[in-house]
Chains A and B, each alone.
Chain A
Amino acid sequence: MAVISVKDLVKTYIVGEVTVRALRGANMDVEAGEFVAVTGPSGSGKSTLMHILGCLDRPTSGQYLLDGKDVSRMSKDELAAIRNIKIGFVFQGFNLLSRTTALDNVELPLLYNGGSKMKTAERHRRAMDALGSVGLADRYHHYPNQLSGGQQQRVAIARALINQPSIILADEPTGNLDTHTSVEVMGIFQRLNIERGITIILITHETDIAEYGTRLVRFRDGRIQIDQQITNRRDAAKELAALPPPEPDLPNEPADVVPADHLGGVS
């Protein structure tokens, strides 16, 4: 059974006098364990699809089955619970809480998942596990402004993993990163996808980043234009080994901690 099943998805915004038809009938099934790269130019509808798949938004019409359940008509609170448990989000702008340690940032989703009943030690243990799986266990007490962009994105991935979701939605996760750290981050996604079988939906407009996935979906004008398996998939781990050693991980300037763009425009 498909983890995600989308049928005739339509999303129409009304902005003042103008009606924006962001999605004009998208159909897509995603099987468990797939790594889908969604690409397309700005305004093609990929971000809108991402919002709907992430249960942040509801379609105007059409059906969205998540694990066989129709979530398109669920209440706000039910959607919040799904976002908390089933889906992990990774954003372009990391969206870490400033002046909050990596550990506290990673623990955040637990607070909305009965985590308050969980003992503090148990929360810390789970957060440390998640940080360990992105190789940042030793940076748990660091604040975002003491971490490089790549490290911040890895903290954000750890946060997405804390509730052991079956799906990770990554919206331009490498948009603010240099080539080397981009490969690093994609390596983490590939590892999570292969080792843990987590379904990954990656939104990107960089075609080379899309090639780390198993399947390419290309949007144009609110419809899916191309939907195909990726034949010569790139392997981040191998590329990383071949790349020259990275420049030392320097902490970013505080101004870079909260980059401007995250989810992109309404597409």
Chain B
Amino acid sequence: MSILMTFRIALKALNRNKMRTVLTMLGMIIGVGAVITMVALGRGAQATIEDQVKSAGTNLINVNAGNFQAAGVRQGQGMATTLTADDAAALRDVPGVQYVAAGVNSRGQVIAGNQNWSTRIEGTDVDFPDIRVWPVRYGMFFTQQDVNSAAKVAVLGSVVADTLFGPDVDPTGQIMRIRNQPFKVIGVMTSKGQGSFGQDQDDTIFTPYTTVQKKLQGIQHINNISVSSVTANTAPVAAAVGEVLRARHKLGPGDPDDFMVRTQEEIASVRTETTRTMTTLLAAIAGVSLLVGGIGIMNIMLVSVTERTREIGLRLAIGARGKDVLLQFLVEAIVISLFGGLLGIGLGFGLSAAVENFFQWPTSIPPNAIGMAFGFAAATGVFFGFYPARKAAGLDPIEALRYE
């Protein structure tokens, strides 16, 4: 019997019991739809993260102060005071390095007029806007002159500017107080939005790192160095940076680093990995519904085989071979699962669009997910259809004809 004829027989048999066919298909539809929706959500989240990573700056390498150990007592990460502005300066000579900015972080209450705000104070260097690819909206960023003289100048993040001076107001030239010291506002950065760890990058004030060292903190060391490499291949540059720092800190071969070098890629990959894990998890849970749908097919096919025992007996009596019967029931299962899979893909698209519209979650359906869901649906049909089909084909025609 040709496969085309088998399909026609299967379609006729399924058509004879429409309600049951549709209900069986429902398991498949929901399963495939759920898998596609979940994958779409995961992919959407991943795309968002990639955007955030890009916004953090390209080819970025972060050097952070390491842990500090004195007389066997280990302080926490970032407590080491061994990182200095000279280290930062030395990194400018490492091959592949484009920009370098020393960084000193602080927090403090800031006041302007009758407004006040507690925010982050980032001491940094003139390369900072280039490293982060972050242009100035009003005024200008501070200059090398300001760094050298530890000038009390401030460049505001947009949130701070909005809070202290009101939105869309150019506060350049105004005086504000940071920890009760007067600073001159010389610029406002454009809005950058959320960083890759969810912090608001705009809620901050930038001043020369020397100003934070000398005027606010009274320290000699720095907390971090931001480096950007010329090419996107940051790993070898990061390694070279590490070596230079070890040499400068006179660390022996067995000594641990007193600093930490992280590339943006590494940081991003952690988050991407997290999201991928989530996506996989969600898809796996959705996959369970696909599995349940498959078991539903097997269930119905088994009932169908029992119910149609006499039909099978008759088919065998009038000359159907075992494999004809096997194929007929297998094809019925496959038709259910494939058709259900097809409708499920439609459902997945619909659900993804609905989620995107109603919850404003970005979604993106990768083309291979459609193929995979469809293939998985077909495989489910074959896998769960085979046992009932084999049961049907193995029936003894005499027993089957006599079955009540």
Residues of A participating in the B interface, judged by any CB pair closer than 8 Å: 51, 54, 56-57, 76-77, 80-81, 83-85, 89, 91, 93, 95, 97-100, 104, 108-109, 111-113, 115-117, 159, 163, 258, 260, 262-263
> What are the residues of chain B within 8 A of A263 when measuring CB–CB?
398, 401-402
CB < 8 Å: which of B319, B401, B402 contacts A112?
B319
- Bound CA–CA A91/B404 (angstroms): 14
Nearest CB to that of A105 among chain B residues? B314
Nearest CB to that of B311 among chain A residues? A97
Q: Is the CB of B310 within 8 A of A56?
A: no
- Bound CA–CA A83/B318 (angstroms): 6
29 A-B pairs (CB sep. < 8 Å): A56-B397, A56-B398, A77-B322, A77-B323, A81-B319, A81-B321, A83-B316, A89-B317, A91-B314, A91-B401, A93-B310, A95-B310, A95-B401, A100-B16, A104-B12, A108-B315, A108-B318, A109-B318, A109-B319, A112-B1, A112-B315, A112-B320, A116-B1, A116-B2, A116-B4, A117-B2, A258-B310, A262-B401, A263-B398
- Bound CA–CA A103/B126 (angstroms): 90
> What are the residues of chain A within 8 A of B1 when measuring CB–CB?
111-112, 116
Assuming the contacts A112-B324, A116-B4, asked whether A84 and B319 have C-beta atoms less than 8 A apart, the reply is: yes
- Bound CA–CA A112/B319 (angstroms): 6
| Complex interface residues of chain B between 235 and 255 (CB less than 8 A to chain A) | none
Nearest CB to that of A57 among chain B residues? B398
Total chain B interface residues with beta-carbon distance under 8 A: 26
> What are the residues of chain A within 8 A of B398 when measuring CB–CB?
51, 56-57, 263
CB distance from B207 to the nearest CB of A (A): 84
> What are the residues of chain B within 8 A of A81 when measuring CB–CB?
319, 321
CB distance from B2 to the nearest CB of A (A): 4
B73 within 8 A of A: no
- Bound CA–CA A109/B324 (angstroms): 12
Among A54, A56, A117, find the residue whose CB has the most chain B CB atoms closer than 10 A.
A56
Q: Is the CB of B319 within 8 A of A83?
A: yes
> What are the residues of chain B within 8 A of A84 when measuring CB–CB?
318-320
| Complex interface residues of chain B between 1 and 55 (CB less than 8 A to chain A) | 1-2, 4-5, 9, 12, 16
Q: Is the CB of A159 within 8 A of B311?
A: no
- Additional A-B contact list (10), CB under 8 Å, known A112-B319, A116-B2, A163-B319: A51-B398, A56-B316, A56-B317, A83-B316, A84-B318, A84-B320, A97-B314, A98-B16, A112-B321, A159-B318
CB distance from A31 to the nearest CB of B (A): 25
CB distance from B96 to the nearest CB of A (A): 70
- Bound CA–CA A115/B4 (angstroms): 12
Assuming the contacts A97-B311, A100-B12, A258-B310, asked whether A113 and B401 have C-beta atoms less than 8 A apart, the reply is: no
- Bound CA–CA A117/B402 (angstroms): 32
Assuming the contacts A95-B310, A95-B401, A262-B402, asked whether A77 and B321 have C-beta atoms less than 8 A apart, the reply is: yes
CB < 8 Å: which of B314, B319, B321 contacts A95?
B314
Q: Mark B319-338, 1 if CB is under 8 A from A, else 0.
A: 11111100000000000000
Q: Is the CB of B319 within 8 A of A76?
A: no
CB < 8 Å: which of A80, A260, A262 contacts B321?
A80
Q: Is the CB of B317 within 8 A of A76?
A: no
Nearest CB to that of B17 among chain A residues? A99
> What are the residues of chain A within 8 A of B12 when measuring CB–CB?
100, 104
> What are the residues of chain A within 8 A of B2 when measuring CB–CB?
116-117
> What are the residues of chain B within 8 A of A85 when measuring CB–CB?
319
Q: Is the CB of B322 within 8 A of A76?
A: yes
Assuming the contacts A57-B398, A116-B4, A260-B404, asked whether A80 and B319 have C-beta atoms less than 8 A apart, the reply is: yes
Which 5 A-B pairs give the minimum distances between C-beta atoms? A84-B319, A116-B5, A116-B2, A112-B319, A109-B318
CB distance from A113 to the nearest CB of B (A): 6
CB distance from B390 to the nearest CB of A (A): 14
> What are the residues of chain B within 8 A of A163 when measuring CB–CB?
319
Among B310, B313, B317, B401, find the residue whose CB has the most chain A CB atoms closer than 10 A.
B317
- Bound CA–CA A54/B5 (angstroms): 26
